[in-house]
Chains A and B, each alone.
Chain A
């Protein structure tokens, strides 16, 4: 019997069709993958099942009955649980309070009973949780457990997970998969959304692949190669393989010396004695699960936050107390994680956004903007970085995530930085754009620029970094040449175990 069946679902938004005539069937106890690039319509489809978004056309059958989901509350009554990519948790409440909110009143009447249930369920599924802790003190992996346990307490029959592994360390992923197998053995169906093909092949019984809002294929992942899956996702024209030569680098351009920093923000991470350097002509990758100090570190490098003068050096010049503007004059280019709001001003045109960081070059003279040059600059970015936009007058917020990211990276690269700092350069970007961005980063490196990349995408770091390290709870692991660090070891580093060294690269670290 099918747990859920979608027929002919169509959802249109102004200017695009998010889902077109999508069919999907998930059997009882099946782990079903929904694969597709960003913008392929996976999230919209999930939101339709969960009742957050209403479809324009099509029907949904739940356990054989036609239903029209009125909203998330209705979906949960039916037995549908969802773990969003961006967690729907309340940071200032405790774990137990967060869970109580989503349970029927009768079940959350006694907090003590509920806490015991949380402990029981979380232990049964191998995901330890302390119900009394505040959510903002939990790691991302633990927060995800709260979301999952919350669904499990509601006796869920279908669990939807939207890119659950993108925020986890490799070890946490393993734990999660064990839990999911246990659940499916107990008869719970799981809908697993991802664009990580290896994981889908390891975990899922069946897969449905979406491309531009339409179903482009079905398959049994374990019997399909990763290449075939990727081909179904991206179509025929995009090259899939990348192989970049590693570089040695030259003299150190960026040096961080014994940097410790405590932020005023209670949700922020404290940096502890961080030291490393990035050489001109190399890419240094910093891995780590979000919220372990990356943001704080990058703010200190970009100058948005300042530290003691002698902790940050650009080419031996101490800059720890300088403002972002002064650091940019010294050759800094910066691509923040947040594209809308920090990387670009959402309501301003691409042309004006180009001027935002480009104003120090030839674009202005004595404070007067040279409009002709600004236009040419913006146009140049659009062409060279293959940005799909309505033109240089398009508002930044009208671009898709991938295209805006290409524009922002292009803006920084075209200013010939001596140091480029990139946070999550290809997060949420589709495969084609990601390849272009990585290619440009390598090219910039080969021109002698020092490049620092912070990312949660381990595959990407392995592919482009020359040296690699990890950050955990504000501390930096040893830095070693990428080919000397096994993925297992990097996983240990990301989890904070910095002594986990392979014998052969001990020398490289010292």
Chain B
């Protein structure tokens, strides 16, 4: 006796070889029917004996292909059908889409092997891919993920490729990005005038290796955007790249040719190795203590004890690593604050003053993405995302209950902009877009909004924006709401941060109160002041502010965030010795007067980090965002908890006495304590303040968000001093910084009143 069942599988099931996998399973079990991609996910019609169908259902939902992620699945019995054999049916075009998008996947082991395999017809073909690897989101025009919906549609498969595409036994069965040197993507090497000096992959990479060794800077078109590369061993070349990019001291990432070579130069923990090898293949920050390699760390990450490292994640980079088997500086191909370049024309225009040579190809990139950046915290063991982009965007892997907020779009913050939306049963968060002050970033931001609207064929009914009236995302939301006649809801910056971390850990659906510790640089507060050191309490849909860093004066607009010495002056007063020495007499008088008449207050924890970093002599002026805090963290690497003793405690109101804290730090410095110890004890004090707050509030669950929690040492410290009964929640999927604000805005909208 045979029956027919209808199976729907949702999640990351397109562009991952899911249909071929189902096909093979069905054939193996003798099941007849069909599999197709629909707007709802993968649809399977399967006919066979009931017990075999059960086995089939379990196999396809529980043990999917490596890069697939099944989020939801269902089956129902339907009227028996009598198909012959099992077939893959072309995608049925229909209404709305209820799918996850597919991120870019790193080159898989099999393809990496073929790339070097003598006799393989894809040997040396930089755009090799299969159902388990290759670019996806970067090429996506519309959905579902079919070749004709991507920029691969410009290339027609040759008979050999087509044969693979049609062969159920082949790794490239229904691989939408399938191509080979005969039918695929062409590449070349050109000078800044566009004259091609190499016309094929083989000679291009040979030339590249020579140019790199000679100290040239290369703009390299990868499959998700341009990278700027140079020999990491040549300090003067790295400095030249810095000058041309107008990036004085922000650290660069290094592309290592292989894990083996990396391990020769640096310690890599198992967790870090796993992250380096993951399908997202991000930049991973490693401790550079005891570096044994040849890369010029002083030029690459001046004054820091960390190094951002990545491994080749595309055929292009794998070829580069083969041709030039040495560490390479590899940084986003852009200028000072502008978005990453992705078209030939743009790169030639913008990077001609930066790069000496251009590696190009004729595959169009539709969704340019920077490399994602992560670091691993030792305890609790886990990942801290610093930039969520290639490999991670645009999905959120967990299911959300979207009913109350369907058709909402969140426009995020300003400095680390991202866009999030819930157009269907899934939630999508764009890649990191950058600082909206930059006009090109702003344009990419508005294009991202447009592309979500187009992709899902619907405009949002509600727009969510930050409360800051001068954030360009806020202003754009207001503009759009007028144009589309939809409502706008303002969501307080730090409440959005809190909602983001609550959502990541499913804490909205339980009844216990949660302490929110939201520490960052700045956000617009509900009282019009500049918030950034907040304690919240969440319970049953309500977020209430239950404490803060005591207000101190915010001085001189955006300048205060650029000059840590100003935070010090505000916190210690202009008369104090320490800030005094960092200003001219004229400046000091001026700021003293400003302080006197100032009305704008802040509770920013970021500024307290700045003040302490300045006080201890690590950083008076930031040359890149977060520099003062980074240098502070660098200074306290050897801090030991023995002998640690908090500088301050919570005051009677349950707030953090900001000024007293910095005064105590100054006193410790005066008494001759070493800077590294003071810096460590400062972080320890902050960790201890969180414990005190948790105790006062009688909560067990503590959730942390905001840029301050990019500090691995703080996480580590919290974990080490935490009493057993406390449960800690940190971001794992999103960055703790403002990149999570768009996601948090949606989550606040769905779950909070």
A binds B: no
